[in-house]
Amino acid sequence: MMRSNQQTSPPKTHGVDPTSGAAGVGALEPEAKGQQDLQHAVDLYQKGMEIAHGATTFEDHCRAIESFSLAIAIRPTQARFFLARGNAFRAIGELERAVKDYGSALSLDDRSALYYANRGACYRKLNQTAKALEDLTSAIELDGRKAPHYFIRALVLHDAGFYREAIVDFSKALEDGSTAAATNAAANNAGGSGGATVAPPANGGGIGIRVEYRALQTRANCYRRLGHLSKCIEDLQAAIKLDPRNASAFSALALAHFECGDFERSADGFTRAIELNSGNASYFSYRGLCYYRQGQAAAAKQRQQQNSIATITSGMGAFARQCLADFNKCIQLDGRDPQAYFYRGSVRLALSLDLDQAPSAASTNSMSTDAKPVSLPGAASGGVNDSGEAPVSEIVPAASIVSYLSASEQLEAAFADIEMACTLCPSGIPYQIGMAMITQLKQRHSEARSMFEAIAASGSDNHKSVLVDFHTALCCHALGDHERALELLTDALDVVSDEPIFLEARGLILQELSVHPLAVADFSYALELLEGFEESNATTTQILGLRYLRGESALRLGRFQDAVDDCSAAITGGYTADMAAHNARGMALRGLGSYDLALRDLNVRISIKRFPRMTSIVLCCLQVHRLLCTLGLCGAST
């Protein structure tokens, strides 16, 4: 290095030999060295950018970070160096370090929308909602191309549960993005490795198809969360038009149809999703649940057409094969999914109930229930089955078309599935409740009661707590603890005062305790509520049962005409219940002195052919009542 004769020199040249004869060169050396340093820093920066752009592994990003760090060490006043290193940190998930680098870039240039946007995106991932919103709002204010920033801010609002506000931002992103100037598409992308918050649009303008798709899909979820299902469906259909090969959109659309109660369309949507991604276990699980709901709806329709209570089943006979096939496939793909086991157990439980009810249904209904023509549900969107053929009507057994397992064996299989769900997710309250309910169905009431009480002690939410109280009350009733059962049902009604099933259950216990005035009050209120519901087979069935029960209590209170009216309404509607309604009406008619009409009801009730399992004690009592009616007729004739 040349030495200078100058006695004074700048601080950066304090090591220069003052005896050198090259006067003036030392004054230029700091500038030349600065230019060299800058060029070296730029070279390191460009090298890092090349590595970052081609990075495919963690090590690649680390090499890029090393180059950016060397550039920063030489020139710590270049904001773009910090931006590039921040982007590299962000690429490997080092979000805190990325935030720090974006902050350093902002300290050097606080007018860059890109720096705010990238830091805001990191804050979003770090769940620092307030800071993310602040940065993204600054980006919106600074950038002429606002749509990408509206989009990211909408995601922040969506993640935080501010769905209405998120809808506003998604709408602005879609509106502004559709008219954004093509020249601004990549204006802020020059500074870093993937540094822009969103990619420039493929068509040279707007926000790009990918971002537009995500905006529509996520806005649809906001609408769904707010209960605006029609708008949700509109957005998802628009998203599918943009990308008809994306399985997640079909899945989301299917879920929206499911919440609308359109289970057939929902199943079709999941079928399309499966066609595009057959490795997603949840699609099979949800489609199986759609078939389950379709089975229930088909059963309700069948009962309405037959107008018969005796043939009530779960309706799974025609749909169980599809349900079980889908849940089996889900478990095959993901054996750790508790929901699949739980749903499969629910189907098996339904089959168990069908098999259990089949003999009594056959004995009390003149129609043959051994075999019925049913149309198997189509799996594909065009109404075809899994083999690609149109659904056909075929004769299938009413109680089971799936296997030769007995009702008790199906119940054991259901219990095993729900137990597995509970094992996989011990904290899952629905699975615990399911296990307790299975135990209750197996008549192990003491064990079931303990299970329900343990669930109640865990402090579940109100809705599940009411359900647990109800089933605990049923167990207490079966164990003879009527006082505790009444207390639990009253607690449940304090939370949900307009639930007819709870009122009916409490009325039954009051009836058994001979507190008939209160029983009549519960039955009457339940009837009042049901008559205000939309007419359906389920409500009709419950109304008929309540009319009979109220008639029984009216009979015990000596209100014979009320008893006759209620029991007649139940019988006319198709209520049989081992002919108990005929018996109650016969007793009430006897109380009114209508002995001939009473005899007709008692003769129906006493028929041994229809009820071969009637006990000798019950038969004896009925014969005595019939004799009294006969004597009453004789007395009236004399």
Residue with the two structure tokens 């008619």:
589
How many Å apart are CA 638 and CA 621, to the nearest integer?
26
Considering only CA atoms, which of 153, 86, 159 is closest in space to residue 121?
A: 153
What are the phi and psi torsion angles at 374 (to 5°)? -135, 155
Task: Provide block-wise average pLDDT over 10 residues at a time, the chain (638 residues).
Answer: 41 43 51 80 95 94 96 95 97 96 96 96 96 96 91 96 97 76 41 44 62 96 95 97 95 96 95 97 94 82 53 62 93 92 88 68 40 34 37 38 73 89 89 87 92 84 78 94 95 90 94 95 93 69 90 94 92 75 87 84 58 45 46 46
pLDDT given at position 606? 54
DSSP bridge pairs for 258: none
What's the full length of the chain, in residues? 638
**Cβ-based neighbours of 621, under 8 Å, separated by 6 or more:** none
**Could you tell me which of 573, 577, 633 has the C-alpha nearest to residue 600?**
633
Q: What is the pLDDT of residue 313?
A: 52
Q: What are the residues whose beta carbons fall under 8 Å from the beta carbon of 448, sequence distance 6 or more? A: 436, 437, 439, 440, 471, 475
- For the chain, the farthest-separated pair of C-alpha atoms sits apart, in whole angstroms, at 157
Burial group, residue 448, by CB count within 10 angstroms (0-12, 13-18, 19+):
buried
- How many angstroms separate the Cα of 311 from the Cα of each of 292, 574, 582, 604? 19, 11, 19, 20
Q: What are the structure tokens assigned to 355, written together?
A: 């098999």
Query: What is the H or E stretch that residue 249 is in?
Result: helix 247-259
Residue found under tokens 């040349």: 2
Contacts 24+ apart (CB under 8 A), 341-344: 341/417, 341/418, 341/420, 341/421, 341/424, 342/417, 342/418, 342/421, 342/430, 342/431, 342/434, 343/285, 343/288, 343/289, 343/292, 344/288, 344/417
Q: Which two tokens stand for residue 381?
A: 């969107």
Give backbone dihedrals phi and psi of 394, rounded to 5 degrees, phi first.
-145, 160
Q: CB–CB of 273/247 below 8 Å?
A: yes
Taking the CA atoms of 359, 360, 364 and 367 in sequence, report the sign of the dihedral they define.
negative
Burial 327-365 (b: 16+ CB within 10 A, else e): bebbbebbeebbbbbbbbbbbbbbbbbbbbbbeebbebe
The pLDDT tens digits of the residues spanning 40-63 come to: 999 999 999 999 999 999 999 999
pLDDT for position 316: 66
- The contacts of residue 513 (CB under 8 Å, 6+ apart) are 482
Specify the 3-state DSSP secondary structure of 296.
helix
Gap between the Cα atoms of 312 and 10, Å rounded: 100
pLDDT score at 300: 67
Per-residue tokens: 316? 């799974």
Query: pLDDT at position 360, please?
Result: 46
pLDDT tens digit string along 489-508? 999 999 988 889 999 999 99
Q: How far is CA 605 from CA 110, 577, 580, 587, 602, in A?
A: 90, 11, 7, 11, 5
C-beta of residue 204 within 8 angstroms of C-beta of residue 98? no
Q: Select from 459, 272, 234, 223 the least CA-distant residue to 384.
A: 272
Residue 442: what pLDDT?
81
What burial letters (b/e) apply to 73-88, b meaning 16+ CB within 10 Å? Answer: ebbeebbbbbbbbbbb
Enter the tokens of residue 457.
Answer: 């002690």
Q: How far is CA 301 from CA 314, 391, 486, 491, in A?
A: 12, 18, 35, 35
**Partner residues linked to 373 by β-bridges:** 395
Residues linked to residue 293 through DSSP beta bridges, in sequence order: none
* 160 DSSP assignment: T
For helices 320-333 and 338-364, angle between their N-to-C axes, nearest 10 degrees: 160
Report the pLDDT value the prediction gives residue 535, as an integer from 0 to 100. 63
Residue 244, exposed/middle/buried by CB under 10 A (0-12, 13-18, 19+)? exposed
Bridge partners of 393, per DSSP, are 375
Q: Which amino acid is at 81?
A: F
- The closest alpha carbon to 193, from 40, 90, 77, belongs to 90
Q: What is the pLDDT of residue 192?
A: 45
The single-letter DSSP state of residue 377 is P
Q: How far apart are CA 595 and CA 616, in angstroms?
A: 24
Are 4 and 22 within 8 A, CB to CB? yes
Distance CA 338, CA 422 (A): 7
Number of Cβ within 10 Å of residue 478's Cβ equals 15
